[in-house]
Amino acid sequence: MIWTVLLLVNGILFFLLLSSRSRSKREPPLDKGFIPWLGHALDFGKDAAKFLTRMKKKHGDIFTVRVAGHYVTVLLDPNSYDAVLQDSGSLDFSRYAQVLMDRIFKLRLPNHNPTVEKAIMKQHFQGKSLTYLNSTMQRNLQALLTSETPPNQKDWKRNGLFNFCYGLLFRAGYLTLFGGEQNNNGADTKQIYKEYRTFDDLLTKMARTTLNSGEKRVAGGARERLWELLSPTGLSESSSPWLRHYRQHLREGGADTDTQTKAMLLQLWATQGNVGPAAFWLLAFLLTTPEAMKAVRREFNRLSLNTDTTQAPTLDPRQPTPVFDSVLEETLRLTAAPFITREVLQNKTLRMANGQEYDLRQGDRVCLFPFVSPQMDPDIYLEPETFKYDRFLNGDGTPKRVFYKGGQRLKYYTMPWGAGSNACVGKPFAIDAIRQFVHLVLTHLEVELCEPESGLPAVNTSRHGFGMLQPEGDLFIRYRHSIGNNIL
Ligand code: HEM
Ligand SMILES: *[C@@H]1O[C@H](CO)[C@@H](O)[C@H](O)[C@H]1NC(C)=O
Ligand SMILES: *[C@@H]1O[C@H](CO)[C@@H](O)[C@H](O)[C@H]1NC(C)=O
Ligand SMILES: *[C@@H]1O[C@H](CO)[C@@H](O)[C@H](O)[C@H]1NC(C)=O
């Protein structure tokens, strides 16, 4: 008994010692929270947007919080974001990314070289090679949608819109990028999707290491089955050029087969985890905002389709669609909530836009959360909680790119894709996939809400910080092939 007490006292003293950090005048306001070590971890995990908005009210645009033993300096002034984004010398992107890689994917790459990997990705996802991916994705989306709603079937089908969008885009994306590989079990895309969703539902808890033992088993099981489904028995000619190139790079770096398979799951997440949820929110906003739906349909009806291929007619990616683009920008403003996290490699002074300077400590993390500002900032956007489809359009129908905060023009008025040298490599591919998908759904399906009165589902707040938000529950729709439209 006495030993237990002594140990406890010791433990408490140790905690006090650890939490004895105090703030110097040149550092941002420090808020450690009341719980030793954990600090604000619980509030942070439950709803980061709510927590950080509260801290912003209390401390201003920059402050340091303790989260599960780490000190995280949060910066919420978009006019000062460049001070973080442009300093890749002192602020490092890949270390924290590697922590997450290990926690979620159990992946440790030998000779990991993020620069080369990104160059490979750019080569295939940007510029000329994108033609191939854009059109393969279109073909896969069309084929899946046709098998989902055969033209000769007139009965309504019922599904959750989130499951419908995520399922179709995930499977089309999988076929486009990974599809040609021969897998152990002749992997069926529906099964991969199902396992992936189980895994995805527990992903934030894996990242925060807050899985309970039951969840650990479920997550581990899904991960094992995904590894099985993604493990190659050899490279086939029909997997995407990017995947072949990437795998060759892994082999040359000395990654064994198991490690290569783990890397495949990481890439599956990076390439498929955000597109489906983004398309869901976009269609959900359109289905609940009649004037937005009307404007997008009007724009789509005026587009000429690309009929000079042997395939069914497709949207030409070069045709401007300013109304759709504004709808997408507005959707992402409301539902893209990534943290942009960097590790402080060496002590550094951060200079804010207003001239104020703050010292950052080596070993801490810096975190931008553009969802709170600029995206939901009432100083920038009128009624920021409301979906306004034409928010990113000028009066004359051209794209609107000029926004102000405190009289100063903003370089970053919304940041769903991150920014700076680590911004999203897949942006043009993702935009094309979402646009093609929405166009296909609106022109070839009849879609109705099952309960038009019930409105949008609530946001699952535990995903704040992990890219695209997801709904709690789903928005139920019925749909069928639209009569009189036989293009599919
Ligand atoms: C709606 C869809 C998507 C959204 C909202 C999105 C968002 C983001 C964000 C915010 C980052 C930056 C993270 C940071 O700076 O810390 C990022 C990075 C990245 N994204 Fe996306 N993404 C999407 C789709 C895609 C797709 C389809 C691909 C691949 C084809 C992709 C590949 C990547 C890669 C490789 C990086 C890492 C860049 C680096 O290492 O510097 N993303 N994405
Ligand atoms: C692919 O689609 C994107 C988005 O629509 C577009 O910006 C890009 O130019 C397209 N690329 C090619 C090569 O067709
Ligand atoms: C919210 O998201 C978390 C993490 O992805 C998940 O575990 C939980 O089941 C979700 N809650 C609801 C109600 O969908
Ligand atoms: C960095 O700053 C901290 C706190 O001000 C200080 O204790 C530490 O010695 C500094 N480290 C280096 C390497 O200068």
Q: Is residue 190 part of a domain?
A: no
For the full predicted model, state whether its pTM sits above 0.75. yes
Distance 331 CA to ligand 4 centre (A): 43
Q: Is residue 83 part of a domain?
A: yes
Question: Model confidence over 48-88: pLDDT tens digits?
Answer: 999 999 999 999 999 999 998 899 999 999 999 999 999 98
Dist CA 65 CA 27 (whole Å): 12
Same domain for 385 and 407, yes or no, is yes
Residues 72 and 365: beta-carbon distance below 8 Å: yes
Q: Is residue 53 part of a domain?
A: yes
Dist CA 216 CA 172 (whole Å): 29
Same domain for 252 and 153, yes or no, is yes
Number of neighbours of residue 270 by Cβ within 10 angstroms: 14
Spell out the long-range contacts of 37-40 with Cβ–Cβ below 8 A and sequence spacing 24 or more. 37/66, 37/68, 37/69, 38/66, 38/67, 38/68, 38/69, 39/65, 39/66, 39/67, 39/68, 39/69, 40/65, 40/66, 40/67
Residues 68 and 41: beta-carbon distance below 8 Å: yes
Of ligand 3's listed atoms, the one at least distance from the Cα of 200 is 5
Known binding residue 365? Answer is yes
Same domain for 170 and 292, yes or no, is yes
- What are the start-end ranges of the H helices in 273-383? 275-288, 290-302, 322-335
Same domain for 324 and 356, yes or no, is no
3-class DSSP state of 82: helix
Q: Considering only CA atoms, which of 32, 252, 317, 219 is closest in space to residue 120?
A: 252
Whether ligand 2 lies within 6 angstroms of the CB of 428 is answered as yes
Residue 47 burial (10 A CB sphere; 0-12, 13-18, 19+): middle
Distance 363 CA to ligand 4 centre (A): 10
Distances (CA, A) of 199 to 45, 171, 187, 211: 18, 16, 17, 12
Same domain for 268 and 393, yes or no, is yes
Residue with tokens 């550092």: 27
**What CATH code is carried by the domain that includes residue 153?**
1.10.630.10
Dist CA 240 CA 179 (whole Å): 8
Would you report the helix, strand and coil content of the chain in percent, each value rounded to 5? 50, 15, 35
Residue 332 burial (10 A CB sphere; 0-12, 13-18, 19+): buried
| 110 φ/ψ angles, rounded to the nearest 5 degrees | -70, 145
What ligand is nearest to the CA atom of residue 320?
2
3-class DSSP state of 39: strand
Q: Give the DSSP H/E element, type plus range, for residue 208.
A: helix 203-208
Same domain for 168 and 61, yes or no, is no
Q: Is residue 199 part of a domain?
A: no
Same domain for 129 and 29, yes or no, is no
Whether ligand 3 lies within 6 angstroms of the CB of 160 is answered as no
CA atoms lying within 13 Å on the CB side of residue 145: 28
Same domain for 286 and 297, yes or no, is yes
Same domain for 123 and 178, yes or no, is yes
Residues 470 and 460: beta-carbon distance below 8 Å: yes
Same domain for 129 and 166, yes or no, is yes
If you take atom 7 of ligand 4, which residue's CA is the nearest one? 361
Distance 224 CA to ligand 3 centre (A): 21
Q: Is residue 218 part of a domain?
A: no
With the most atoms of ligand 3 within 8 angstroms of its CB, the residue from 162, 462, 468, 472 to mutate is: 462
Same domain for 355 and 376, yes or no, is no
Domain limits at 262? 114-182+232-336+371-481
What angle is formed at CA 316 by the lines to CA 312 and CA 317, rounded to 5 degrees? 130
Q: Is residue 315 part of a domain?
A: yes
**Buried residues in 360-386 as b, exposed as e (16+ CB within 10 A):** beeebbbbbbbbbbbbbbeebbeebee
Same domain for 413 and 465, yes or no, is yes
What ligand is nearest to the CA atom of residue 316?
2
Q: Is residue 389 part of a domain?
A: yes
Residue 197 burial (10 A CB sphere; 0-12, 13-18, 19+): middle
With the most atoms of ligand 1 within 8 angstroms of its CB, the residue from 126, 140, 424, 463 to mutate is: 424
Distance 208 CA to ligand 2 centre (A): 36
- Please state the separation of Cα 83 from the chain's center in Å: 23
What ligand is nearest to the CA atom of residue 358?
4
pLDDT in tens, the chain (488 residues): 444 444 444 444 444 445 568 888 899 999 999 888 888 999 989 999 999 999 999 999 999 999 988 999 999 999 999 999 999 899 999 888 999 999 999 999 988 888 899 999 999 999 889 999 999 999 999 999 998 888 888 899 999 999 999 999 999 999 999 886 545 444 588 999 999 999 999 999 999 999 999 999 999 999 999 999 888 653 445 678 999 999 999 999 999 999 999 999 999 999 999 999 999 999 999 999 999 999 999 999 988 776 655 556 677 878 899 999 999 999 999 999 999 999 999 999 999 999 999 999 999 999 999 999 999 999 999 999 999 999 999 999 999 999 999 899 999 999 999 998 889 999 999 999 999 999 999 998 999 999 999 899 999 999 999 999 999 999 999 999 987 554 44
Q: Is residue 106 part of a domain?
A: no
38 Cβ contact list (under 8 Å, min separation 6): 66, 67, 68, 69
Give the number of domains in the chain: 2
Question: Model confidence over 417-469: pLDDT tens digits?
Answer: 999 888 999 999 999 999 999 999 999 899 999 999 989 999 999 999 999 99
